[in-house]
Structure 1
Amino acid sequence: MNTSEFDIDCELKSAFFENAYSPFVILNRDMNFVDINKAGVDTIGISKENFLGKNLLDIFPYLEGTERYDAYKNVIDTGVAIGFDELLFKGEFSEIIFMSKAFKIGDYLGITTLDVTNVIDTVQKLKSTKTSLIEVNENLKKKNQELEDFSFVAAHDLRAPLTNLKSLMRMALESDITFNEVMPIVEKMNVVTKVMCDKITALNMVIATKANFGASKTTLEFSEVVGKLKTNYSKEIIEGRTIIKEDYSACPSINYNKVQLEGVLQTLMSNALLYRHPKRKLSIKIETKDVNGRVQLSFKDNGLGFEQEFSDKIFALFKRLHTHVDGLGVSLYIMKTIIDENGGTIDVSSQVNKGTEFKIIF
């Protein structure tokens, strides 16, 4: 190569170095900067005059004593290039995530970098999107299963009274009986019809509750919600000679949908009053606690109670453990649905003739 070709080659390399999109720097064995291109100056935010001659640790003091600093020095000694991924550079006005490669140039160390901030952000967004899609898919599976279970229970519980009604109707139409003889059949038909209407009413209640999910929330005081219930159930409270103890000092309020919270507490209050023990005064204790930053509500009574083995079954649709009072067997199902939909949990412990305690984490 003649002198002219050598000069052109040097000029091309110099032009490439200076105008490269990515930052380039060159250091000597003492880790002092010998050269830096325009992209490097723009990225670091220090003028070239104030940069050259400075030591690497003067500009990046946090590298002192690190494996990366030792690795850079080792490149000059061994000539073996090394690369680093996802390094963080904190500039005056921004933070940059970059990849770095260090290599030997004669007796010097060359370091080139590539800004991958946007790439990393995109990857993180894709991961987040994937996670969101997985959550949505799981939620859809859950909803579909709930819908299947709901449809099965609804069809099963309506089929029996409908079959009975059809049989009774056929008996009334096909039998050659007198008016007085047909009346018992008509009365049975009336009972069966009422059962069907009650179950349809219950199903409508469930549908209405589910339709209210996603409604706005507001700050509610437990004492005010329970106070309203005590007024509404004043007759039953007096009849049961009920003693109600309340302690909301740990968590006096909660951010929740008003209709849903009232529905949960109404179910607890109503069941305690309905299933009170006939041989003693009804005692109800309502208390709130802070459990790992979440509100826990405890609702305990000394009523009839039930066998603990049935604790999971009491939340099933149309499931009733006590039949001596009227009921649709739907209130506890709706209550648990509300709590689950809001990301909460509910546990129940009970003993026959001793009472029941519900613990709800909202």
Structure 2
Amino acid sequence: MIKGDFEINCELKSAFFKNAYSPFVILDRDMNFVDVNQASVDTIGIEKENFIGKNILDIFPYLEGTERYDAYKNVIDTGVPIGFDELLFKGEFTEVTFMSRAFKIGDYLGITTLDVTNVIDTVQKLKSTKTSLIEVNENLKKKNQELEDFSYVAAHDLRAPLTNLKSLLRMALESNISSNEVMPIVEKMNVVTKVMCDKITALNMVIAIKSNFGAPKIELGFSEVVSKLKASYSKEIIEGRTIIKEDYSGCSSINYNKVQLESVLQALMSNALKYRHPKRKLSIKIETKQVDGKVQLSFKDNGLGFDQEFSDKIFVLFKRLHTHVDGLGVALYIMKTIISENGGSIDVKSQVNKGTEFTVIF
């Protein structure tokens, strides 16, 4: 005898019901269990024969008088399905968090559930981790502020006595000290004191720049900023017989903090002028353009250059590769700090006696 479509469909539904991974139960109008699948038995830990014929309140007495119980009964009356999230079931040996969906099947009520215990646990862990990260971040901000405050106080407090010491040494040098033993010592003390004073000044510069990171940004023209720098360095530009070529056709302006942009370009200009090659005219080429939606600045010179192997070290505070000219090794450190703080990057390529090119992505 060939089975009809109806019988086949009934067998398929029955097989799906019995083998479903999630708990599935069917109740009558009086909320008595008519059938339960194996997943329900495994999850709740009650044998099937102890389910069938029992009222839902016999198995789950805590539902009596609850909105969920009334909602289940309302589904049978209206046929409108309803869902519940994050329901907690506590058995003798298990505790499960699940989602529930109730819907009408003919004259019966079908309830299917989904175990979301692991999902809820994961969410709670993520929330806990997020809270911990927020706390860690706040602590780091606090510690950074404390370090910044300490740096400021240290630099400020050391500056006054060093300045006084420097003045006393100058007075000593200007007096008629004739002792061959004392004079060399005083001269060395003067040199050391100058170095310390210069470094304290440099630290104050770094602190001042960092305290400006939250300042507003405005639209600035590259040509105007560079013109101001050329006026400031006119003496050095003339001495180096410097030729400066500028091309801002690709990007004439940028939205940036005024003090910070001037500091970046000043560091590049000062570096090129200080380390020019003594046997040729200094040539500087400045070019800006848009690359992938960001402003790119290229600053190229034909100066002394350096070994590419040391490209990372030039941005280290108080680090200098050339010592034949005065300097503290702080300008490039400040420049990189500003660029990084604003989400940009800087790359440098150099060759000994051929020159250096800085590429800044703002």
Question: How does the TM-score come out when normalised to structure 1?
Answer: 0.58
Q: Match for residue 221 of structure 1?
A: 221
Q: Report the count of equivalent residues.
A: 269
Q: Match for residue 312 of structure 2?
A: 312
Check the 8 A contact 1:24/1:110 in 2, yes or no.
no
Go from structure 1 to structure 2 and tell me whether the alpha carbon gap of 1:319 and 1:111 turns closer, same or farther (over 3 Å shift): same
**Does 2:238 correspond to 1:238?**
yes
SS in 2 for 1:320: coil
2:80 is matched by which residue type in structure 1? I
**Distance (whole Å) between structure 2 residues aligned to residue 287 and residue 134 of structure 1:** 42
Deviates more, 1:228-237 or 1:128-137: 128-137
Q: Considering only aligned residues, what root-mean-square deviation do their CA atoms show, in Å?
A: 4.8
Q: Match for residue 206 of structure 1?
A: 206
Q: Match for residue 347 of structure 2?
A: 347
Q: Match for residue 179 of structure 1?
A: 178
After superposition, residues 159-178 of structure 1 pair within 5 angstroms as none
2:270 is matched by which residue type in structure 1? S
Deviates more, 1:103-112 or 1:185-194: 103-112
SS in 1 for 2:280: coil
1:347 is matched by which residue type in structure 2? D
Match of 1:36 among 66, 80, 97: 80
**Does 2:332 correspond to 1:332?**
yes
Check the 8 A contact 1:230/1:237 in 2, yes or no.
yes
Cα deviation, 1:262-318, whole Å, max 9, x if unaligned, reads 111100001101111122221212222334333222211111000111111111121
Q: Match for residue 290 of structure 2?
A: 290
1:219 is matched by which residue type in structure 2? E
Check the 8 A contact 1:17/1:24 in 2, yes or no.
no
SS in 2 for 1:36: coil
**Distance (whole Å) between structure 2 residues aligned to residue 333 and residue 305 of structure 1:** 18
Go from structure 1 to structure 2 and tell me whether the alpha carbon gap of 1:344 and 1:134 turns closer, same or farther (over 3 Å shift): farther
After superposition, residues 90-129 of structure 1 pair within 5 angstroms as 101-102=101-102, 105-106=105-106
**Distance (whole Å) between structure 1 residues aligned to residue 335 and residue 221 of structure 2:** 19
**Distance (whole Å) between structure 1 residues aligned to residue 318 and residue 241 of structure 2:** 29
Q: Deviation at 1:232?
A: 1.5
**Distance (whole Å) between structure 2 residues aligned to residue 194 and residue 130 of structure 1:** 47
Cα deviation, 1:79-131, whole Å, max 9, x if unaligned, reads xxxxxx9xxxxxxxxxxxxx662556455675799xxxxx9xx9898776565
Structure 2, unpaired ranges of 5+: 1-29, 31-54, 56-63, 84-97, 114-119
**Distance (whole Å) between structure 1 residues aligned to residue 285 and residue 263 of structure 2:** 18
Structure 1, unpaired ranges of 5+: 1-5, 27-32, 41-84, 86-98, 114-118, 173-177
**Distance (whole Å) between structure 2 residues aligned to residue 192 and residue 325 of structure 1:** 17
Go from structure 1 to structure 2 and tell me whether the alpha carbon gap of 1:315 and 1:212 turns closer, same or farther (over 3 Å shift): same
Q: Deviation at 1:354?
A: 0.8
After superposition, residues 251-290 of structure 1 pair within 5 angstroms as 251-290=251-290
Check the 8 A contact 1:299/1:359 in 2, yes or no.
yes
Question: How does the TM-score come out when normalised to structure 2?
Answer: 0.58
After superposition, residues 31-110 of structure 1 pair within 5 angstroms as 35-36=79-80, 101-102=101-102, 105-106=105-106
**Distance (whole Å) between structure 2 residues aligned to residue 330 and residue 185 of structure 1:** 29
Check the 8 A contact 2:305/2:356 in 1, yes or no.
yes
SS in 2 for 1:318: coil
**What percent identity do the matched residue pairs reach?**
72
Check the 8 A contact 1:25/1:112 in 2, yes or no.
no
**Distance (whole Å) between structure 1 residues aligned to residue 206 and residue 317 of structure 2:** 9
Check the 8 A contact 2:80/2:104 in 1, yes or no.
no
SS in 1 for 2:79: strand
Q: Match for residue 94 of structure 1?
A: none
Go from structure 1 to structure 2 and tell me whether the alpha carbon gap of 1:248 and 1:353 turns closer, same or farther (over 3 Å shift): same
SS in 2 for 1:244: strand
Go from structure 1 to structure 2 and tell me whether the alpha carbon gap of 1:247 and 1:314 turns closer, same or farther (over 3 Å shift): same
Check the 8 A contact 2:79/2:104 in 1, yes or no.
no
Q: Match for residue 361 of structure 2?
A: 361
**Distance (whole Å) between structure 2 residues aligned to residue 361 and residue 112 of structure 1:** 57
Go from structure 1 to structure 2 and tell me whether the alpha carbon gap of 1:100 and 1:258 turns closer, same or farther (over 3 Å shift): farther
Go from structure 1 to structure 2 and tell me whether the alpha carbon gap of 1:246 and 1:195 turns closer, same or farther (over 3 Å shift): same
1:265 is matched by which residue type in structure 2? L
Check the 8 A contact 2:75/2:102 in 1, yes or no.
no
Q: Match for residue 249 of structure 1?
A: 249
Q: Match for residue 322 of structure 1?
A: 322
Q: Deviation at 1:229?
A: 1.0
Check the 8 A contact 1:268/1:299 in 2, yes or no.
yes
